[in-house]
Structure 1
Amino acid sequence: MLSTLNRNDALEFQEEKPLKLSPFLMAITKIAEEEGDFISEKVLKELEQMVTPDASLRSSMQYASLTGPGFEITDERAETIKTVITVIKGLAQAGGFISEKFGKYLGPIGTAAGVVKDIVEFFQDKKPDPVMKELGELKNQLTALSDKMSVHFNALESFMVKQEFYKNYTVAMKSMMSFMMDTTDGSKESVDLFKKIYDERRPQTLVYDMLAELELDDRNPLKLAMHGDNLQSKNTFKKWKDILEGALSQALFLEVYASGLFPEVGNYGTTKILEKIARYQQLVDQWDYHFWTNENFWPKGVEKLVNDVHDDRNLKTKDEKMEVLWKGIESIHTQFKFYAVVVPSEHIIRWYKHFEAQAIVSDRNGFTIMVYRHTGKVVRTMSWLYNYIGEHLHEERSDFMQFNNWQSVRNHFSDDNVEKIGKYTGTFVFIIAQSKSFIALKYSRFLGNKGPGVHTFDATLTTTGGFTIETFPVFKFLGY
């Protein structure tokens, strides 16, 4: 009896409890250990989920090879096709093939192909209406999914316009998918044509070639796209990760379908494609770590973001500018933490950088924007900095011949004096002679008790002039 899956499970793509490592995965792990490679638990779990349907897939293959005259399309098999329809519909809604979503449904996919085969062999004259109705719906959902994948493939083709391989890959996959969908009409001619196309360019071969291309930096769409993105954004990384995974997973889908339709194909190609998808997951982890830890976006990428915020005439206030600025900063795929300030330029603002790229400070179009990136390189100890802050929370200045107390504030926070503070503390210094209510600020949050790589404090400066004594609020920022 062929195994079936609950349609509600398919709709929600619920995760099943992982089984023990299969012999297939144990073999991969052993090979990796012998070659000195490490396969993460995450990759093994992802691969295990894809491999677990192998038993049901094998049973469907055995069943297809043993069927003979008198075979009946049971309600159970019809329900299996409905399950596959639901899975395909969910993938179409998600925007493409996602291996982790349909991995556990490999068995039913092969079963659906087996039903097509049985219809062709035993029901040429009188096809059972209920099953043909379900196969028609399957074709509709496959068409919708194929349309979504065409968008991904078009992006891949246009981006890699100079790479003939990707053009050939996408053309081959589109063509094979179309011929595969035609088999759902239950005709022998459509099955024969699909077999011809399958034999000419097997999915396994396409996947092997694609993985070889992805190993090369100058032919890797994800890496090229990230290097072309000023901010190396999370969205760019995810977009190309999903496009490439979708292309590989579509090949897996086609291979599973072919193995269900043609018993002589067997499971070898499916197993090998799963191995390559496991390798792809390892590559994704490597790329993720690479872009997570590098700093190619700094300072030029963030400088462009700051300039764009300055030049956007639709952003009228400090808060509007901060909202757009911070959205851009949060989009960066990086481990680094940031502190950003937007303040009207009319206030007294001073800063000191030990080197140009330590922070970005830009004063244009009526606003000063500061973005500081925490590097974790501390010159002074935390206790030393805390003591310094405590000693400088409330400062005083006497200018008996000065009748403008604001000028006394400017004199106190002169460029020379701020430079001395920076050199003494070993920090990037940013000072605004105003309270926080006049400042828009945002910062990244660390886990636990760690701060955003800076010390900020609300200080005061009391000035004594010719006739008056006045106290001014001061925002002080020390970045280490």
Structure 2
Amino acid sequence: MNNEGTNEFSRLIDDCINAGIIVFEKLEARLHIIAVAGQTLKKYIEAIKQSGNNPIEYNYKALKLDELDNKLDILAEKMSVHFNELEAFLIDHHVYTDVVQTASTLMKFMKDTISNPCSQSLEIFRDVVRKAPPLQYGYKVISLLEQDSTNPLKVSMTADKLKTSATFNKWKKIIDGVLSQFLFLETYLNGMFWQSDMYGPDQLKNKIKNLHRKMDKWSDDYSESYWPETVRQLVHETQDNYDNVDNELKANILEQALTKILTSDVFYILVYDECDGNNHSFSYRDSQTITSFRRGSCNVVIYRSRKWMHAGNNALNQITREVESCRYNTIPKRSSYEGFPDELCRKQFTNVGFVGIVRKNQNVTVSSANSFGDRPLGPGWWITADVMNSQEKFVLIAGYE
């Protein structure tokens, strides 16, 4: 009996073990491997029956069923860690209790056909999947997700004040894992009982792919919904609750929180001593900037760049040159700098959504969130610039659009 089917099946289980869960992307192009494994096990069980129940003669060791059984135990243990996350949600949504318990129970009966390959384990598995079809339960999960009140991802994101990527990705992974488990089972039983007729697996696969597209849309929606109220509230809470710490620590607190938000926006964070208009001035797009002045003994400015994440190195080089050209002989000595950043925008910069100056002696901290790779200075560039004919200095910062 050819053992290639179980060998490929074993490699697929290895991939799922490494992921810690049955993952759709690992299954999508390899469903035939699962079906072949189911078909192979059925043929093996039939051969045992014909031989008088002597599994050794029919390649038990060659099929490596004991090794496969152990791997399925490891996978089940890893998956239980993720599905335990559902416990809190299950308290208020008992309908998911049936789903999770059914998936776990069906996997145990499927595993019995591998650990104890015989007519009894095969017929018992056939009986339980008739009573609780994986395809039906996969559809049930998808139907529950269509209602906001029974969608654990949406319920959890509503409760998450910061709309964090950690919350979104955690529930996306759990949902994917539950549905992929039913897809796994549906495909295995199709190989075992339906001569690898892939109608059920293909239907569920397409439903899951469509759900993934919806989850991508949910991600896009959440990445927009956090602004501005979530960030404004974060700024105010930081100013009110940490008024006794220095500006650098306040900036770090804001940076850590902003980094958690589910968004591709990249942020500049400015925290400095509370001061009047002679010491700071800005030009910015209202839809991308939040300011909070004279609160908690400090001023805070948050700017979000919408395009920096996808801007190329040319954008970095250009804005760096433009800002560096302002280091000397650009900022005049004035009694008021109101409107000066607007002048810089017109004369000095291109493709910017924010330009600001803050007098250096105001204990300025400039930080960024969601910075990446070779761009540690955030979505643009900033310098300490000299004031002409003076010993004074300003922090000058320009944020990409």
Give the TM-score of the pair, scaled to structure 1.
0.63
Residue 131 of structure 1 aligns to a residue whose secondary structure is coil
Could you tell me which amino acid in structure 1 is paired with residue 48 of structure 2?
F
Query: Quick one: percent identity of the two aligned structures?
Result: 24
CA distance in 2, matches of 1:392, 1:227: 51
Question: 1:13-412 counterparts in 2 under 5 A?
Answer: 73-74=1-2, 77=3, 79-124=4-49, 125-128=53-56, 130-132=59-61, 134-184=64-114, 185-263=116-194, 266-292=197-223, 294-301=224-231, 303-304=233-234, 307=237, 322-323=251-252, 325-343=254-272, 350=280, 358-361=289-292, 369-374=300-305, 393-396=330-333, 412=335
CA distance in 2, matches of 1:97, 1:363: 52
Q: Deviations over 1:296-341 (max 9, x none)?
A: 353335643774698689x987656545533432332224342112
CA distance in 1, matches of 2:251, 2:367: 7
Could you tell me which amino acid in structure 1 is paired with residue 122 of structure 2?
V
User: Which residue is 2:315 aligned to?
Assistant: none
User: Which residue is 1:442 aligned to?
Assistant: 368
Bigger mean CA deviation after superposition, 218-227 or 240-249: 218-227
Instruction: From the superposition, tell whether residues 326 and 194 of structure 1 become closer, same or farther in structure 2 (CA, over 3 Å).
Output: same
Q: Which structure exhibits the higher relative contact order, with contacts defined as CA atoms closer than 8 Å and separated by 6 or more residues?
A: 2
> Are the aligned partners of 1:309 and 1:325 in contact in 2 as well (CA < 8 Å)?
no
Deviation at 1:216, TM superposition (A): 2.2
CA distance in 1, matches of 2:121, 2:231: 52
Residue 186 of structure 1 aligns to a residue whose secondary structure is coil
Q: Deviations over 1:445-477 (max 9, x none)?
A: 799xxx978886644447xxxxxx952112245
| Rg comparison, structure with higher value | 1
Q: Deviations over 1:259-303 (max 9, x none)?
A: 1221368322112112212221221232132223x2335333564
> Are the aligned partners of 1:114 and 1:261 in contact in 2 as well (CA < 8 Å)?
yes
CA distance in 1, matches of 2:60, 2:242: 59
CA distance in 1, matches of 2:354, 2:209: 45
User: Which residue is 2:349 aligned to?
Assistant: none
Instruction: From the superposition, tell whether residues 433 and 97 of structure 1 become closer, same or farther in structure 2 (CA, over 3 Å).
Output: same
Q: Unaligned regions of 5+ residues in structure 2, if any?
A: 308-318, 347-352
Residue 21 of structure 2 aligns to a residue whose secondary structure is coil
CA distance in 2, matches of 1:306, 1:84: 54
Residue 395 of structure 1 aligns to a residue whose secondary structure is coil
Could you tell me which amino acid in structure 2 is paired with residue 296 of structure 1?
Y
RMSD (Å), alpha carbons: 4.3
Query: Alignment length, in residue pairs?
Result: 367
Instruction: From the superposition, tell whether residues 319 and 137 of structure 1 become closer, same or farther in structure 2 (CA, over 3 Å).
Output: farther
Could you tell me which amino acid in structure 2 is paired with residue 268 of structure 1?
Y
Deviation at 1:215, TM superposition (A): 2.0
Q: Unaligned regions of 5+ residues in structure 1, if any?
A: 1-72, 377-381, 398-411, 463-468
Bigger mean CA deviation after superposition, 173-182 or 102-111: 102-111
> Are the aligned partners of 1:299 and 1:357 in contact in 2 as well (CA < 8 Å)?
no
1:471 to 2:391 alignment: yes
